[in-house]
Chains A and B, each alone.
Chain A
């Protein structure tokens, strides 16, 4: 089985979010970038397939040179080859279009992407990709088993979960549950050394046009101070929630 894991390069979850150039650009100053958490769960599941079922695992990112350390980290975790499609990621559609070309050229059977990337939270790249290459697609995937060309997956739905059967070629939008937090791997020294020797192939972009473009950013309005209520007077909280906040 040939697996492709799509890796989005995102600010670490503790990052302070600021903008520059008149609020038109994300300020990367002092921001630490990481593998998108949803993709890290997917990559770890891919390593399981590699080790237990003999799959090959490539990782791909659509982005500029600045994303290479993130791809190297994925190699250090155990991926075989990294691919960087050399173009800035402008919107979900154009990224999906680039990925579709990579999947076709590489004849991948299984594409593991994340439920959403924690920067733009689009939640759209894997679904668009699946539609473009006419593959099956499972969103919010919390469990995946593959046997030959058939697959069984579990999808999280509002208020529960759903078990589905499907077949390869398959794209999933994965998240925690695919593997547990405790299964995630921190690259060790050997992994890091080996990653330096593994191929990181830069491919030129097929010219996919973006369909949407961000014009400006804004931050939420600053919040007023918290209203403190005495622990011996919880009735006051009930009153405030009813009369002032009007939420009960």
Chain B
């Protein structure tokens, strides 16, 4: 019996979310009096996992798995879980992890809960808190199967250092036919994605047109932030759909969310509410976003944002 965690890597390197799920798996293992095993696919160096409490690593190395495939990855994780006799499997909330988790759940006959925000309040019955109604509420849900799968919400638990030393061994699962073949991947490598970002800078219709997005991009650049937008902005074609956040767009769970020229409609707030600190810049003091924000500036984005970018540059220069 152990807790199994799927630690994702990209081009051989772990993502921050992998250390977060490892930290979280360690917390569950402590509650249950057991240890954490991680499964990795084509990761270069797995020693860092030990710093977050992983004691054993199953390394899958297979050039056939260089491109992500939900079905084959789920099969590999399932076989690792069976080999380890894992009672709990932890995955992140990345697009890929969400893709494979339901397939894994059927394979393991395991109950699965996604968007979990805390460590289990109880391990018997196994009870987790997860966000529902697009962050307007939480549910406390019991998983009644022998094996449980927990999908942890990004940035919900944080990193907890917990030095163990991880022993690594090779693991060679038998892989099924995939059925879905990747033809091409189109991914901006120089930009932070909304899912991985710690800071997100978002613009709304108050910015008047796509030609003004330099304001947002420059601010995002000093902060190392991802850029996002409200729904009308993507519907109008000012920005790509992939930047649309909110109830019908992407969810945002960053540490800092800066909303510029966004009114704060209920559907927008629903999607970004789990961000920890929210800042609004808006000319209208009555804009609903001020009720949801932690910090606000009533003012014209075209004046305030360049000043803010300037001050942040100075701050970064001093604190570099």
Residues of A whose CB lies within 8 Å of any CB of B are: 11, 13-14, 17, 19, 37-38, 91-93, 96, 118-128, 130-132, 136-140, 142, 152, 155-167, 176-177, 180-182, 210-220, 223-224, 226-231, 234-235, 237-238, 240-242, 245, 247-248
**Could you say which residues of chain B place their CB within 8 Å of the CB of A132?**
106
Given contacts A17-B137, A139-B70, A167-B179, contact A212 B111 (CB under 8 A): yes
Within the complex, the shortest CB–CB distance from B145 to chain A, in Å, comes to: 5
Residue in A123, A131, A213, A230 whose CB lies within 8 Å of B106:
A131
Residues A92 and B112 in contact in the complex (CB < 8 Å), given A140-B95, A157-B187, A247-B255: yes
Q: Determine whether the beta carbon of B181 is less than 8 Å from that of A166.
A: yes
Q: Are B143 and A212 in contact (CB under 8 A)?
A: yes
| Interface pair B294/A121, CB less than 8 Å apart | no
B85 within 8 A of A: no
Across the interface, A212 reaches (CB within 8 A) one of B101, B113, B136, namely B113
- For B296, give its contact among A139, A229, A235 (CB under 8 Å): A229
In whole Å, how far is A232's beta carbon from the nearest beta carbon of chain B?
A: 8
Most buried by A among B138, B242, B304: B242
Q: Determine the residue in chain A with the shortest Cβ distance to B276.
A: A247
Chain B residues with CB under 8 A of A131: 74, 102-103, 105-107
**Is B211 at the interface (CB under 8 A from chain A)?**
no
Asked if A218 and B183 make an inter-chain contact with CB atoms under 8 angstroms apart, the answer reads no
B225-239, CB < 8 A from A: 235
- Among the stretches B38-46, B163-171, B191-199, the one at the interface with A is B191-199
Question: Of residues 153 to 192 in B, which have CB atoms within 8 Å of A's CB atoms?
Answer: 179-188, 191-192
Binds A, one of B24-32, B47-55, B266-274: B266-274
Q: Which residues of A contact B180 (CB under 8 A)?
A: 136-138, 164-166
Whether B114 pairs with A122 at a CB distance below 8 angstroms is yes
| Chain A residues closer than 8 Å to B242, beta-carbon distance | 156, 160-161
Find chain A residues with CB under 8 A from B99 CB: 127, 139-140, 155
A241 touches B295 (CB 8 A): yes
User: Does chain A have a CB within 8 A of B291?
Assistant: yes
Can you list 17 A-B pairs with a CB-CB distance of less than 8 A? A13-B270, A131-B103, A136-B179, A142-B241, A152-B183, A158-B96, A159-B195, A161-B185, A162-B182, A163-B182, A176-B244, A218-B137, A224-B294, A231-B300, A238-B311, A241-B256, A247-B256
Complex CA–CA separation, A227 to B293 (angstroms) = 8
- Chain A residues within 8 Å of B129, by CB: 218
Number of A-B contacts (CB under 8 A): 254
CA distance A196 to B193 in the complex (A): 46
Beyond known contacts A160-B193, A165-B180, A212-B141: 13 more, CB 8 A cutoff: A37-B248, A93-B105, A118-B133, A136-B180, A160-B185, A162-B182, A182-B235, A217-B140, A218-B138, A227-B294, A231-B300, A235-B311, A247-B198
Q: Say which residue of B71, B244, B297 sits within 8 Å of A237 (CB atoms).
A: B297
| Chain A contacts for B291, CB-based, 8 A | 223, 226
> Could you say which residues of chain B place their CB within 8 Å of the CB of A247?
198-199, 255-256, 276-277
A218 to B121, CA, bound (A): 14
**Interface positions of B from 114 to 152, Cβ below 8 Å from A:** 114-115, 127, 129, 131-145
Residues of B within 8 A of A17 (CB): 133, 136-137
Q: How far is the CA of A210 from the CA of B132 in the complex (A)?
A: 18
Q: Is B187 touching A160 in the complex (CB atoms < 8 A)?
A: yes
| Chain B contact residues, majority secondary structure | mixed
Minimum Cβ distance to chain A for residue B291 (Å): 7
The 3 closest A-B pairs by CB, nearest first: A127-B102, A159-B193, A160-B187
Residue B307 CB within 8 A of the other chain: yes
Report chain A residues within 8 Å CB of B187.
157, 159-161
Interface string of B287-320 (1 = CB under 8 A from A): 0001111111111100110011001100100010
Cα A4 to Cα B221 in complex, Å, equals 45
Asked whether, in the complex, the Cβ of A137 is within 8 Å of the Cβ of B70, the reply is yes
Of B96, B102, B194, B311, which is within 8 A of A126 by CB? B102
Looking across the interface, which residue of chain B has its beta carbon closest to that of A160?
B187
> How far apart are the CA atoms of A11 and B107 in the complex, in Å?
32
Q: When the two chains form their complex, are residues A237 and B95 in contact, meaning their CB atoms are under 8 A apart?
A: no
Known contacts A92-B102, A159-B193, A226-B295, A14 near B267 by CB under 8 Å: yes
B87: which A residues are within 8 A, CB to CB? Answer: none
Given the interface pairs A118-B134, A218-B138, the reply to whether A166 lies near B179 with Cβ below 8 Å is yes
Residue of A nearest to B112 (CB): A124
Q: Is B223 an interface residue (CB 8 A)?
A: yes
Known contacts A13-B266, A14-B266; decide if A121 and B143 are in contact (CB<8 Å).
no
- B280 contacts A by Cβ under 8 Å: yes
Measured CB to CB, the closest approach of chain B to A95, in angstroms, equals 11
In this assembly, does B9 line the interface, its C-beta being within 8 Å of a C-beta of chain A? Answer: no
In the complex formed, the residue of A with least CB distance to B115 is A121
CA–CA, A63 and B53, complex, Å: 43
Pair A226/B296 contact, Cβ less than 8 Å:
yes
Nearest chain-B residue to A210 (Cβ)?
B144
